[in-house]
Amino acid sequence: MNEETGLGSDAQAQTTLKATQQLLAAARAELGRVIAGQGEVIGEVLVAVLTQGHALLEGVPGIAKTLIVKSVGRLLGLGFQRVQGTPDLMPADILGTTIFRPGSDAFTFHTGPVFTDLLLVDEINRMPPRTQSALLECMEERQVTSDGVRRPLPAWFTVFATENPIDFEGTYPLPEAQLDRFLLKIKVSYPSPDEERMMLERHQASGGTNLLEQADIQPLAAGLLEGARAEIRGIRVEADLYGYILDLVRRTREWPMLALGASPRAAICLLRVAQAFAAFEDRDYIIPDDVKRAVLPALRHRILLKPEAELEGFDADRVLTDVLAAVAVPRG
């Protein structure tokens, strides 16, 4: 793991997974000109796209959540749309609606912003439950059903939703069923002092122009994104690693601090994320360390703490760290 970028190895030796390593090299080179730090976050955003999952980004305002997703879209050559969550947002505002065409007897479906590759739903917990629920079909089946007609979404459709962890007034907590649709919950923290200084210097040097436009990010070569996704799908998993993943997930269901453990879907997601992390390290097989690294982002939003655990100062990450320590690691 490259400690500075969080985007895997940058060694120049012969690589095993060529498309994945070329993609990561391009991410380091291109995104590094726009975003100061946040390498681990960028890596997990790439995992969501490459494994056909969705991600929930949690962090305070102003720490580049939107910029990261928009920049990754430019790098990957994918379309991008943004929706601002508000209490009066209706499902049709996201999905689209059927409108009557004047001068004819026909109705036409006017597509909403969900018909894109990367959809950023800013402050998703400010949307009312009905509108939140409208995203469930999109996220799970990658389609929109309107007037009985199924309309497929683009093949690369990925939802990135953001929420503020400290602002609860006027918000609607996401139900467990919706949280379970997210492959990852990514925690976005403040940059380091050096990274924040770099950010200031870049904005000063930009002369007030849009930093993303000024950077002129070069999209990936044709076929590279699909090639990286295929390489990740092909990562080998030994039998003892299946057992390790299941032991971790099942242990959460009986953990004394938890009122709700991880679902069977969580085990599948944990496996997919571990495969991506293995590919990032240029390995065509997963090892226990890949699973350990995947546990927090893949499971932290799928468990529910008991009230007494929260009163004692526990949070999801601390509980999952304890679960990891309690489950035996395969030594095969």
What lies within 8 Å, CB to CB, of 147 at 6+ separation is 98, 109
Residue-wise pLDDT tens digits, 8-39: 655 445 678 999 999 999 998 888 888 888 88
Q: Enter the pTM of the model.
A: 0.90
For position 12, what pLDDT does the model report?
45
Confidence of residue 209 (pLDDT cuts 50, 70, 90): low
Residue 314 to residue 221: CA distance in whole angstroms: 45
For position 3, what pLDDT does the model report?
46
For position 259, what pLDDT does the model report?
94
Residue-wise pLDDT tens digits, 216-232: 788 888 899 999 999 99
Residue-wise pLDDT tens digits, 77-119: 999 999 999 999 999 999 998 887 777 777 788 899 999 999 9
What lies within 8 Å, CB to CB, of 89 at 6+ separation is 83, 127, 128, 131
Rg, Å, the chain Cα set: 21
Residue-wise pLDDT tens digits, 191-207: 889 988 988 888 888 76
Give the mean pLDDT of the chain.
89
Residue-wise pLDDT tens digits, 111-164: 999 999 999 999 998 898 888 888 888 999 999 988 888 999 999 999 999 988
Ordered DSSP codes for 225-263: HHHHHHHHHT-B--HHHHHHHHHHHHHHHT-TTEEE---
Mean pLDDT computed over 232-238: 95
pLDDT above 80: residue 266 = yes
Residue 148 to residue 89: CA distance in whole angstroms: 22
Residue-wise pLDDT tens digits, 286-309: 999 999 999 999 999 999 999 999
Amino acid in the structure at residue 217 = I
Q: Any idea which residue has 């494994």 for tokens?
A: 51
> CA dist 94 to 79, 104, 139, 255, Å?
16, 26, 13, 39
Confidence of residue 167 (pLDDT cuts 50, 70, 90): low
Which domains are assigned to the chain?
1-89+115-206+224-233 (3.40.50.300), 236-332 (1.10.8.80)
> CA dist 54 to 48, 83, 140, 293, Å?
6, 15, 10, 18
Residue 125 to residue 81: CA distance in whole angstroms: 18
